[in-house]
Amino acid sequence: MTTTDAFIAAADAHSAHTYHPLPVVVATADGAWMTDVEGRRYLDLLAGYSALNFGHGNRRLIEAAKAQLERVTLTSRAFHHDRFAAFCTELAELCGMEMVLPMNTGTEAVETAVKTVRKWGYRVKGVPAEMAKIVVAGNNFHGRTTTVISFSTDPEARADYGPYTPGFEIVPYGDLTAMRAAVTENTVAVLLEPIQGEAGVLVPPAGYLPAVRALTRERNVLFVADEIQSGLGRTGRTFACEHEGVVPDMYVLGKALGGGIVPVSAVVSSAEVLGVFRPGEHGSTFGGNPLACAVALEVIAMLRSGEYQARAAELGERMRGELKALADTGRLTAVRGRGLWAGVDVAPEYGSGREVSERLMDRGVLVKDTRGPTIRIAPPLVIGEGDLEWGLSQIGEVLTV
Ligand SMILES: *Cc1c(COP(=O)(O)O)cnc(C)c1O
């Protein structure tokens, strides 16, 4: 048995089988490259689903984390700490908002958003007790907690986990007529991914997000943008909503906010909305801890320069060009995405998304399939141009019969 096989067998024996990873066992990583336990190198074209926007082992982020490790790492929110105010102030400013509620994982931030908009509905909008409704989109991915999977349309994510949390209305993504019909006087929020990542990097029709913005404003409903995967540079802007000139009432952030080092998530909104909370009404032991704040502050500083967004836009343009060329020769049947983020559908004669991902792995390129023929490509924004070109050329080469 190889070292790789031994690691995988041990993992299979002692971990719940909630994932089906590619058979690679990573030992170290740097920038856009990972090295496995047998010394083979792989180009990472997934970047932890955007959690690694700034690459593996990013020096600025590592230094920020190390410095904070030596100072103080955890206080709990029972006490103040000297990184907290700066984190909240600077994140709010980056978002053009007023207040921040920090959590850890993405799904916790979505849970927090759900609680916030319900409370806002009862306290500010005046929705009758227990009647608040939230409109969401089909094929969404907002995380894995019981409430969040209650409004998933993915049978694998939902089966056997009921009873489900009520209060959600699901409409097809991109369908404005259905959205308009679903919004009632008890609707407190519309919760959407501005680009649906897990669904295969689905970009909604042009004009959809602005129309949802207009509708929600007109009906006194909060527009919540889950930018956990699409935000913080990935699409070539700080937020995917910006491409459509849309400013939501609330951003839900995660993944890249933690710099690939620690889980950091947050809900960011106005004082009217996040001002609904009083002490004791919501919380998290680790949310907003000093280490998380120190890393996130560095992430925010890096995003303020705009250089990562610009790089995502520029490299993304080239990437889409190369992928479109593969579509023109019939090897891909669809190419979607924005910035350095693409979902492509592989023509059936070349095998499933999983098979193509495995063939790419054998050539030293790591991507991840999602739903049948689709593979998702989300390189770290720091990837070298030559590396990206090489990785994309490998995709072309594995798509041969
Ligand atoms: C990843 C993701 C989540 C969940 O984040 P976790 O940190 O895995 O809990 C929620 N929403 C979107 C859009 C995501 O991509």
Domain boundaries, the chain: 3-57+307-398, 71-304
pLDDT band per the 50, 70, 90 thresholds, residue 163: very high
User: What percent of the chain has a predicted confidence (pLDDT) above 70?
Assistant: 100
Q: How confident is the model at residue 400 (pLDDT cuts 50, 70, 90)?
A: confident
Give the position, in ligand 1's atom list, of the atom nearest the Cα of 263.
Answer: 7
Choosing from 44, 226, 249, 387, which is the catalytic residue? 226
Q: How many CB atoms lie within 10 A of CB 208?
A: 19
Sequence letter at residue 227: E
- pLDDT over 80 (residue 294): yes
Separation of alpha carbons 213 and 184, rounded Å:
15
Residue 371 pLDDT: 81
Ligand 1 residue neighbourhood (C-beta within 6 Å): 49, 105-107, 110, 141-143, 193, 197, 226, 228-229, 254-255
Distance of CA 74 to the CA centre of its chain: 25
In ligand 1, the atom with minimum distance to the C-alpha of 105 is 7
Question: Alpha helix (H) ranges present in 231-274?
Answer: 271-274
Q: Residue 237: its pLDDT value, please?
A: 98
Q: According to CATH, what is the number of the domain 3-57+307-398?
A: 3.90.1150.10
Specify the pLDDT at position 33. Answer: 98
Per the annotation, the verdict on 66 as an active-site residue is no
Reading the block at residue 217, the tokens are 């404003």
Closest CA to 228 of 184, 193, 185, 202: 193
The answer to whether residue 226 is catalytic is: yes
pLDDT in tens, 232-248: 999 999 999 999 999 99
Tell whether pTM > 0.95.
yes
Average pLDDT over residues 334-352: 97
Q: How confident is the model at residue 401 (pLDDT cuts 50, 70, 90)?
A: confident
Phi, psi of 242, deg, nearest 5? -60, -30
Peptide bond connecting 155 to the previous residue in cis, omega within 30 degrees of 0: no
Kindly give the distance from the C-alpha atom of residue 39 to the centroid of ligand 1, in angstroms, as a whole number.
31
Which atom of ligand 1 lies nearest, measured to the CA of 148?
10
Task: Specify the residue with its C-alpha closest to ligand 1, atom 11.
Answer: 142
**How confident is residue 1, by pLDDT bands cut at 50, 70 and 90?**
confident
Q: Does the 71-304 domain belong in CATH 3.40.50.150?
A: no
The predicted-structure confidence for 69-120, as pLDDT tens digits, reads as follows 999 999 999 999 999 999 999 999 999 999 999 999 999 999 999 999 999 9
Looking at residues 127-136, what average pLDDT do you find?
A: 98
CA geometry: angle 228, 87, 97, nearest 5 deg: 65
